[in-house]
Structure 1
Amino acid sequence: MRVLVIGINYAPDLIGVAKYNTEFCESLASWGHEVRVVTAPPYYPDWSIPPGYRSRWYRHQRLNDVDVIRAPIYVPSRPSGLKRLLHHTSFMLSAAVPVLSSALWWRPDIVFVVAPSLLSAPMAALAARMTGASSWVHVQDLEVDAAFEVGLLRSGVTRKLMRTVERWILRSFDRVSTISIQMLRRLEHKGIVPTRLREFRNWIDTSIVVPGSNQTQLRSELQLAPTDIVALYSGAMSNKQGLELIIEAAAALKDSQPSVKFVLCGNGPVKPALVQMAAGLHNVRFLDLQPLDRVSELLSTADIQLLPQKAEISDLVLPSKLAGMLASGRPLIAMTEPGTGIASEVEGAGLVIAPGDAGALAAAVTILAEDEALRDRLGAVARARAEQKWDRISIIRSLEHEFMSLPQRTATPAPRTAPLATPVRSIEHVTTGSRRRPETSGWPPSREPLRPRARGVGSEH
């Protein structure tokens, strides 16, 4: 089976949607499928493209048996509503050439697009129709709703127009999936036929992220005492999370709970403001995003996992970091409304408090900090839930099975002549797996017979 994936985020970005796009593609490739990805250079969560990836042209890599084509995009250093729209528009335009060229000459069986960015979805649907492939859009974030709820976009006329366009885009696909039951219900309310909807939740590799001692090397590096209680937030630092509430809670507890230390690990546009806000607070530490081989250690350093979230988007996203938090075997404090997807996942594995309430967060941290037995009980439930509901292999296998069962439409075959002229100027061959293939001299690569691969699934982010 050949799968063409379109998604703006991919490795070497470490968190968020990039993690799942990468692991999904590498898993399919390791199981013998041919996978090609059209994506952007890495930029998230710093909103900055690393020097080695800055280019005004296209680049092609072979990364862990996956063909990766990177399209140039505009990345704003300070993303606003309009700048984010321009950012996604630039990817839609630049990705059009490799997507349509791959559809015509590589001939995928499935065209799979991940939102964000939804703007590139019509092009994916067109590519599928041109070649008779099945089309699938996977919604990681309800980005249109979220943009208005957090104030990135405001106009009522614009909102009505964008929702109409969103509905038209989603209806053009054979299948529409998302990551929680609550988000599926929202998609159904948008007019998507239930028979086309599927739940395809995020995951964690529970063999890599495992509960461990909280007396880690990282704790020593942060100059924390063995008896300190660490409340950890790890992830992107943007407008969606309401991270200022953690700083407010730390300020409220600095004298009454001196052993409680708040650690915020990650990067993003609001981090400088958070650092400034925390100036003078001895109970707050900041860390940059940690490398993959320290993720389990990072999560084990915590005694309490923090999952802040703004009330407006409680059911518009299911944070990707939740899976790792559960797998760490530590209790969670989630800021969300009762009945939301986040609340149902955290029930029995932590405390659910009202979003936007720093006082409630401080009180919840105090409850867990003072009751080790409660932390142990909730943490055990968290780990069991990760193993039962968030296992990486079983989740991706279920989607593979769905792919296999999709009907194929009939389309007029494209002529098998010379490939379209392509804009790719830089051709690279990169692998971190055990197998290497010869460098290619052009793009797209020639079609090879499908061969089984013996390599295992790639590493967990």
Structure 2
Amino acid sequence: MSASHDESEQDKTRKRVWILTRHYPPDVGALSYRLKHLAETLAEDYEVTVLTAQPNRYEGATKAPAIERQENLTIRRISSVQLLQSRGKVGRLLTELLGALWMSLVALRHRGKMDIVFASTPPFFYGLPGLVVKRFGRRPLVLDLRDLWLDWAEETGLLRNPLLAGSMRFLERSIIRSADHLTLATEGFRDLLLERHGTDPACATVVFNGLDKVLIPEHVEPAAPRDEGAPLQVLYAGNLGPSQSLVGILGGMLASLEKWPALRITIIGDGAQRDELSGASHPRFKVLPHTSREELARMCRETDAFLLHLAALDVYRHTVPSKLFEYAAYERPILCGVSGEARKICERHAACFTFDSDDAASFASAMDRLCGGEPADNARMERADQTEILRASRAPIWRKVFASLS
């Protein structure tokens, strides 16, 4: 029997996995890159189809091919329309809802081609296509939850109407309880959902955001001691929205940047606060657009320290930003403005100069300690070996989850 015949027979026995997601490359961001890694990992053992929207996360996104085919992997992109010209909260919310409903209809039409469905959030409403295929197509559903959006919406006051909040909580419960397996971003998420929804612990797996394989350093040289007066480069790379809240901590500090003559700050990314950050004028402060992952890896190797920050919200005590693992892999100090689970991971894996979220004075104090060459705040704490961060690979965990459904 020929090898080509064997391969053909193997293809016929492959389970068919559909990944339903709002964002996928060439859309930029940690979510897109993470799902690309998932699709390529699963394509080693399954016939994979990604159903996604046209690139839309940031203004200026260009249209991608409606269908792309690779070995054991097909990417289908459906049109997404910005409902309102304003990119404000209401416009985005309505756009996400209509986009999720449209994807639900498209997915339902293809349900006969699916053996397992994987639905990823955020955005919140994109759990809905998974629920629809589960209910009407009766296919096993893996639900991927990377944030607690409803908790955030209620805590920030975005969701004030009790009737609307109750309706969305009902939808959330329906989506979560319909899943055959949950993959969750943090231990904190897992504990909360087990308590709220009575989920079987065996059906809830923590898959940390982990490392993008492009950004895994082949070899990292420990930071060399700095000569007095030598430039000190601090890098932030990621979203520039209210969740990251960089305007609050950087705004006042830039006015007194002369206090740290060696300091250079580079911000890379896009989001709602980008224009305000770009408006800050100082020769030692730069705001750059998203760059390629390869170029970002080069900049990570060359920086002296990283900035990590989330807004001072209780929901973020259970959040671990994707960039934390990437920063820690480069063995550079981290200006650490996060709390809860993220701070514990940061202190275990990196030299941390900690400060309180949304506290400009606390941030300035941490910068004083960094620029002054003081020991890291966790210098006396036991630290994990860097190989533990480099082993934060998602692929083996995903394979185990999907094997349990196959």
TM-score by length of 2: 0.85
Task: State whether structure 2 residue 164 is matched by structure 1 residue 175.
Answer: no
Partners of 1:381 and 1:231 in 2: CA distance: 22
Cα RMSD, aligned residues only: 2.9
Give unmatched runs, 5+ long, in structure 1. 216-224, 408-461
**For residue 109 of structure 1, what is the aligned residue in structure 2?**
115
Where does 1:31-50 land on structure 2 (aligned, <5 Å)?
31-44=44-57, 46-50=58-62
**Equivalents in 2 of 1:254, 1:343: separation in Å?**
26
| Residues 81 and 147, structure 1, Cα contact 8 Å, conserved in 2 | no
Shift of 1:32: 2.9
Using the TM superposition, give the Cα deviation of residue 33 of structure 1 relative to its aligned residue in structure 2, in angstroms.
Answer: 1.6
Matched, 1:275 2:278: yes
CA distance in 2, matches of 1:272, 1:214: 35
Deviations along 1:169-216, whole A, 9 cap, x unmatched?
A: 21111112211001112222332413332211112156743265699x
Whether 2:13 is the aligned partner of 1:7: answer no
Residues 120 and 206 of structure 1: is their aligned pair in 2 closer, same or farther, counting only changes over 3 Å?
Answer: closer
- Secondary structure in 2 aligned to 1:311? coil
Within 2, Cα distance between the matches of 1:140 and 1:78?
A: 26
Instruction: Tell me, yes or no, if the aligned pair for 1:311 and 1:355 is still in contact at 8 Å.
Output: yes
* Contact 1:305/1:330, CA 8 A, preserved across alignment: yes
Picking from 60, 63, 66, the partner of 1:59 is: 66
After superposition, the C-alpha distances for 1:118-149 in whole angstroms (9 at most, x for unaligned) are 32323323323544431111101111112233
1:18 shift after superposition: 0.8
Question: Which residue of 2 is the match for residue 359 of structure 1?
Answer: 361
1:416 aligns with none
Match of 1:297 in 2: 298
**In the aligned structure 2, how far is the partner of 1:352 from the partner of 1:246?**
13
C-alpha spacing 1:317/1:87, structure 2 compared with 1 (3 Å)? farther
Partner of 1:311: 312
- The structure whose RCO (Cα within 8 Å, separation 6+) is larger is 1
User: Partner of 2:153 in structure 1?
Assistant: 147
> Does the CA contact (< 8 Å) of 2:243 and 2:310 recur in 1?
yes
Q: Specify every segment of 5 or more residues in structure 2 that has no aligned partner in the other structure, as ranges.
A: 1-14
Please identify, of 187-196 and 33-42, the stretch whose mean Cα deviation from structure 2 is larger.
Answer: 187-196
2:145 counterpart of 1:133: no
Q: 1:207 to 1:70 in 2, by over 3 A?
A: closer
Of residues 142, 160, 167 in structure 2, which corresponds to 1:161? Answer: 167
Aligned-partner SS, 2:69 = strand
Aligned residue type for 2:116 = I
Structure 1 residues 110 and 298, CA gap change in structure 2 (3 angstroms): same
Instruction: Indicate how the Cα distance of structure 1 residues 252 and 186 shifts in structure 2: closer, same or farther if over 3 A, else same.
Output: farther
Query: Partner of 1:241: helix, strand, or coil?
Result: coil
Q: Conserved in 2, the CA contact under 8 Å of 1:296 and 1:328?
A: no
Distance 1:179 1:306, change over 3 A: same
Query: Once the 2 structures are TM-superposed, how far is the Cα of residue 79 of structure 1 from its aligned partner?
Result: 2.9
> Is contact 2:119–2:144 with CA below 8 Å preserved after alignment?
yes
* 2:12 aligned partner: none
Tell me, yes or no, if the aligned pair for 1:249 and 1:359 is still in contact at 8 Å.
Answer: no
Partner of 1:391: 391
Q: Which amino acid aligns with 2:301?
A: S
Residues in 2 aligned to 1:243 and 1:23: alpha-carbon distance in whole angstroms: 29
- Secondary structure at the aligned position of 2:49 is classed as strand
2:238 and 2:93 map into 1 onto residues whose CA distance is 23
Instruction: Note if 1:234 corresponds to 2:237.
Output: yes
Asked if the contact 2:111–2:133 (Cα under 8 Å) also holds between the matched residues in 1, the reply is yes
Name the residue aligned to 1:347.
347
Deviations 1:404-435 (A, max 9, x none): 1227xxxxxxxxxxxxxxxxxxxxxxxxxxxx
- Maintained 8 Å contact 2:118/2:130: yes
Provide closer, same or farther for how the CA distance between residues 381 and 48 of structure 1 changes in structure 2, counting only shifts above 3 A.
farther
Q: How does 1:21-100 map to 2 (within 5 A)?
A: 21-29=35-43, 31-44=44-57, 46-50=58-62, 52-53=63-64, 59-63=66-70, 65-75=72-82, 78-100=86-108
CA distance in 1, matches of 2:169, 2:253: 39
Alignment CA distance shift 1:375-1:266 (3 Å):
farther
* 1:193 matches 2:199: yes
1:332 aligns with 2:345: no
Cα deviations across residues 242-296 of structure 1 (Å, max 9, x unaligned)?
11134236326512211111111111222111122x22x3331111111122121
Given candidates 261, 264, 286, the residue that maps to 2:264 is 261
Query: For residues 300-359 of structure 1, what are the alpha-carbon distances to aligned partners after superposition, in whole Å with 9 as ceiling and x for unaligned?
Result: 23211111111114135321222211112212122123xx11111111421332111011
Post-superposition offset of 1:390: 5.4
Higher helix share: 2
**TM-score of the superposed pair, with normalisation by structure 1:** 0.75
Q: Are the aligned partners of 2:236 and 2:308 in contact in 1 as well (CA < 8 Å)?
A: yes
Question: Residues of 2 paired with 1:232 and 1:64: CA distance?
Answer: 37
Give the residue type in structure 2 aligned to 1:99: A
Query: Structure 1 residues 91, 317: CA separation in 2 closer, same or farther (over 3 Å shift)?
Result: farther
Instruction: Tell me how far apart the structure 1 counterparts of residues 285 and 222 of structure 2 sit (CA, whole Å).
Output: 18
When residues 372 and 209 of structure 1 are mapped into structure 2, their CA distance, relative to the original with a 3 A threshold, is: farther
CA 1:206–1:116: 2 relative to 1, 3 Å: closer
* Partner residue, 1:449: none
Per the alignment, do residues 314 and 214 of structure 1 end up closer, same or farther by CA in structure 2, a change over 3 Å counting?
same
Would you say how many aligned residue pairs link Structure 1 and Structure 2?
A: 381
Report the residue type matching 1:347 in the other structure: E
Shifted more, 313-322 versus 171-180: the winner is 313-322
**Residue type matched to 1:116 in 2?**
P
Change (3 A) 1:396 1:291: same
- Match of 1:204, SS state, is coil
Q: Distance in 2 between matches of 1:194 and 1:361?
A: 41
Change (3 A) 1:326 1:77: farther
| Contact 2:100 2:128 (C-alpha < 8 Å) held by counterparts | no
Question: CA 1:375–1:120 in 2, change beyond 3 Å: closer, same or farther?
Answer: closer
